[in-house]
Amino acid sequence: MKYKFSSLHGSQKPLKFVELTIRASTDQGDVVWEPFGGLCPGAVVSHHFSRRYYGAEIIPEFYKAATERLATS
């Protein structure tokens, strides 16, 4: 699939922004739900700060990139 963006995902969020949001609104052990995962920054942050994570992504390229990203984080 070809996208009009220079990066893989047109709405990438900085991890620091996602970290601030998750840490301000959850406690350790809480569940983070990311219904439109994209590259799943919520999963990366949740893993680092002991939150449980559930997410969804239907675009195969984004899902593949997210799983590779999580494997290396």
Q: What is the DSSP string of 2-60?
A: --SSSSS-TT---HHHHHHHHHHH--TT-EEEESS-TT-HHHHHHHHTT-EEEE----H
Give the closest residue to 61 by CA, choosing from 40, 30, 46, 45.
Answer: 40
Report residue 73's pLDDT band, with 50, 70 and 90 as the boundaries.
confident
| 3 domain residue, yes or no | no
Report residue 47's pLDDT band, with 50, 70 and 90 as the boundaries.
very high
| 28 domain residue, yes or no | yes
| 46 domain residue, yes or no | yes
Number of separate domains in the chain: 1
- Mean local confidence (pLDDT), 11-35: 94
Residue the block writes with tokens 């609104």: 25
Range of the domain at 58: 15-72
d(CA 22, CA 31): 10
pLDDT for 5 beyond 70: no
| 9 domain residue, yes or no | no
pLDDT for 14 beyond 90: no
With a pLDDT cut of 70, the percent of the chain lying above it is 89
| 5 domain residue, yes or no | no
